[in-house]
């Protein structure tokens, strides 16, 4: 069974029903890593949020999202909460907003551990410290007793990875998990994710082709809510078909472009406003 089967997913916002995601279809097999690439506003985050049932109330959703065979679209919030706890979790771009600033990091991770391991023998705090070690914290006890603003950006992102994985989800949605970090820390967190996402399915949202290449097998290229191209990441980078994908690949190789080269924008690939 596929972890995810998405068909004809459409998400529109507000009374004017402006379309953010347009008839999106894809499947994600067990243990597979799928990237979604596209520039800002192309519908990547909206897609990720839909997978975990976290879209805001003004979102109109049609189509189907089967998570482990269970329909997410139209499911009551109470049941979505249970799925979020057990089967899917999300790593957000901004750890400072995803973590509660008023609560020690250890307690936040402990709450996730407590929810999912009611029958465990060991103490919750022991398991929290184990998770902090697993995500590469050098001083896990101290980190557990810290508040989020006492940690560096990289440490906060590691804490968020621990929190997302502590319930052992089969599917992890990562939305630009390294975008807010400097390049060295970004590399460390990508290495960490590469290890920690093993054995799970993951959907990895990024505007950065190089980042997606490091962690994903396949990729969907989104432009204004639609998939314009999809396939194995290496094939796409070697031989992009759609002009927009070609522009993304060229932008990732900006070092080869003479200074002052204008990079194309989404507007260059669309024929005016949509109906």
Which residues would be at the binding site for Mg ion (CB under 5 A)?
A: 45
User: Does the protein bind ligand ADP through residue 138 (CB under 6 A)?
Assistant: no
Partner from ligand ADP, Mg ion, none binding residue 95, C-beta < 5-8 Å depending on class: none
* The only residue of 20, 90, 98, 151 in contact with ligand ADP, by rule CB under 6 A: 20
Q: Are strands 59-67 and 70-71 parallel, antiparallel or unpaired?
A: antiparallel
Neighbouring-strand partners of residue 63: none
Question: Which residue stretch of 34-42, 63-71, 82-90, 92-100 sits at the interface with ligand ADP (rule: CB under 6 A)?
Answer: 34-42
Q: How far is the CB of 34 from ligand ADP (least distance, A)?
A: 15
Q: How far apart are alpha carbons 22 and 223 in whole angstroms?
A: 10
Closest CA to 174 of 159, 190, 187: 190
Q: How far apart are alpha carbons 1 and 274 in whole angstroms?
A: 36
Partner from Mg ion, ligand ADP, none binding residue 41, C-beta < 5-8 Å depending on class: ligand ADP
User: Which residue's CB comes closest to Mg ion?
Assistant: 45
Q: How far is the CB of 258 from ligand ADP (least distance, A)?
A: 28
Name residues whose C-beta falls within 8 Å of residue 64's C-beta, 6 or more positions apart in sequence.
5, 6, 7, 8, 9, 71, 73
Element housing 89 (H / E): strand 88-91
Q: Which of residues 48-107 bind ligand ADP (CB under 6 A)?
A: 56, 58
The footprint of ligand ADP on this chain (CB under 6 A) covers a number of residues equal to: 13
Q: How far apart are alpha carbons 252 and 21 in whole angstroms?
A: 24
User: Does the protein bind ligand ADP through residue 41 (CB under 6 A)?
Assistant: yes
Tokens of 267: 């507007």
Question: Which residue stretch of 39-47, 70-78, 162-170, 238-246 sits at the interface with ligand ADP (rule: CB under 6 A)?
Answer: 39-47
- Is residue 97 classed as helix, strand or coil in its secondary structure? helix
Rounded CA Rg of the chain: 19
User: Does the protein bind ligand ADP through residue 42 (CB under 6 A)?
Assistant: yes
* The only residue of 2, 13, 94, 114 in contact with ligand ADP, by rule CB under 6 A: 13
User: Does the protein bind ligand ADP through residue 38 (CB under 6 A)?
Assistant: yes
Neighbouring-strand partners of residue 50: none
User: Does the protein bind ligand ADP through residue 122 (CB under 6 A)?
Assistant: no
Partner from ligand ADP, Mg ion, none binding residue 56, C-beta < 5-8 Å depending on class: ligand ADP
Q: How far apart are alpha carbons 90 and 85 in whole angstroms?
A: 10
Q: How far apart are alpha carbons 200 and 2 in whole angstroms?
A: 12
C-alpha pair distances (Å), 117 with each of 12, 89, 168: 38, 16, 10
Q: Of the two residues 93 and 157, which places its CB atom closer to ligand ADP in the complex?
A: 93
From residue 163 to residue 192, what is the string marking binding to ligand ADP with x (rule CB under 6 A)?
Answer: ------------------------------
Q: How far apart are alpha carbons 220 and 37 in whole angstroms?
A: 6
Contact yes or no for 231/26 (Cβ under 8 A): no
Question: Which residue stretch of 37-45, 60-68, 185-193, 244-252 sits at the interface with ligand ADP (rule: CB under 6 A)?
Answer: 37-45
Q: Of the two residues 207 and 242, which places its CB atom closer to Mg ion in the complex?
A: 207
Binding region for ligand ADP (CB under 6 A): 13-14, 20, 38, 40-46, 56, 58
């Amino acid at each position: 069974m596929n972890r995810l089967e998405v068909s004809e997913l459409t998400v529109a916002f507000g009374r004017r029903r402006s379309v953010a995601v347009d008839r999106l279809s894809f499947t994600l097999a067990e243990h597979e890593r799928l990237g979604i690439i596209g520039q800002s506003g192309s519908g990547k985050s909206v897609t990720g949020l839909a997978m975990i049932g976290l879209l805001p109330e003004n979102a109109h959703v049609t189509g189907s999202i089967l998570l482990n065979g269970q329909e997410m679209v139209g499911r009551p919030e109470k049941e979505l909460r249970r799925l979020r706890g057990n089967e899917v979790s999300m790593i957000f771009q901004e750890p400072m907003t995803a973590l509660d600033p008023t609560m020690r990091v250890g307690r936040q991770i402990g709450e996730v551990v407590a929810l999912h391991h009611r029958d465990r023998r060991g103490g919750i705090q022991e398991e929290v410290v184990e998770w902090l070690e697993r995500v590469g914290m050098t001083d896990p006890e101290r980190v557990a007793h810290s508040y989020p603003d006492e940690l560096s950006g990289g440490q906060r992102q590691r804490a968020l990875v621990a929190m997302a994985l502590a319930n052992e989800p089969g599917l992890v949605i990562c939305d630009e998990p390294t975008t807010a970090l400097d390049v060295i820390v970004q590399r460390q967190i990508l290495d960490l994710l590469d290890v920690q996402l093993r054995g799970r399915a993951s959907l990895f949202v990024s505007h950065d082709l190089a980042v997606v290449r490091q962690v994903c097998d396949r990729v969907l290229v989104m432009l204004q809510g639609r998939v314009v191209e999809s396939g194995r990441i290496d094939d796409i980078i070697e031989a992009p078909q759609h002009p927009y994908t070609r522009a993304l690949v060229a932008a990732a190789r900006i070092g080869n472009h003479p200074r002052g080269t204008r990079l194309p924008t989404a507007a260059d690939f669309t024929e005016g406003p949509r109906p």
